[in-house]
Amino acid sequence: MSQTLLEQSLGQLACDIPGATRIFHSFKLDFCCGGHKSLREAALGKDLDPLLIADALHDLQDAGDTQLDWRNEPSQALIAHLLARYHARHREQLPELIRLARRVEQVHGARSSCPNGLADLLTDMQQELEGHMLKEEQVLFPMLQQGIGLQAAPPIQVLRFEHDQHGQALDQLLLLTNHIIPPADACNTWRALYRGLLEFKDDLMQHIHLENNVLFINALKPRH
């Protein structure tokens, strides 16, 4: 059974199996921007054993947990969820993360473990994300809410490209922060920053996953 999972895409598995995204996070597999890759391809690309991951996913399937399958929900409901759960949340998260990052850099900048440059990276991400979310809110989402699907292909192409850029920025963030692991003697501010960064990373990956692998795919399906 695990063998059949190997050729399925990470995006498909993330939709199909409740809890799959937790496993992908633990193995550092990108199911949002890299969601088109098969489990086998993605695992081998990171020198991981694909069967080990497939077995873990298979165990989840056997557990029989359920989650809301957004592929079967109307696009209006998914858009409302994206706006409330992710767009509004990112706008809350980033100003505070930038403030904490600046403080950590000011106080601990001389230490080799200090994530110098993180505040600037987060500021760039905030600007890029804000512009991106406005395109969705002002252009794409209204089109989809009006039932315009296939004609939305050009903006969807642009937004997918921007998602890839967000993914590259997340890679930089992980590089700067030792995969968001604070040093053993990190102060409370540093630990609070990294807790917030972990939450932001997980939220952003889930946000991009729901758009790339559910909303956009559903929008571009031919209507009969």
Task: From residue 124, give the alpha-carbon distance in Å to each of 118, 128, 194, 216.
Answer: 10, 6, 18, 25
- Listed as ranges, residues in the chain with pLDDT below 70 are 1-2, 64-65, 224
Domain ranges across the chain: 2-63, 72-220
Pick the CATH number of 2-63 from 1.10.3910, 1.20.1690, 1.10.1740, 1.10.10: 1.10.3910
Taking the model in full, what pTM does it have?
0.90
Q: How far apart are CA 192 and CA 164, in angstroms?
A: 27
**pLDDT tens figures, 91-148:** 999 999 999 999 999 999 999 999 999 999 999 999 999 999 999 999 999 999 998 8
List the alpha helices (DSSP H) in the chain.
Answer: 2-6, 10-16, 20-26, 39-45, 50-63, 75-82, 88-108, 118-135, 141-145, 153-176, 188-210, 216-219
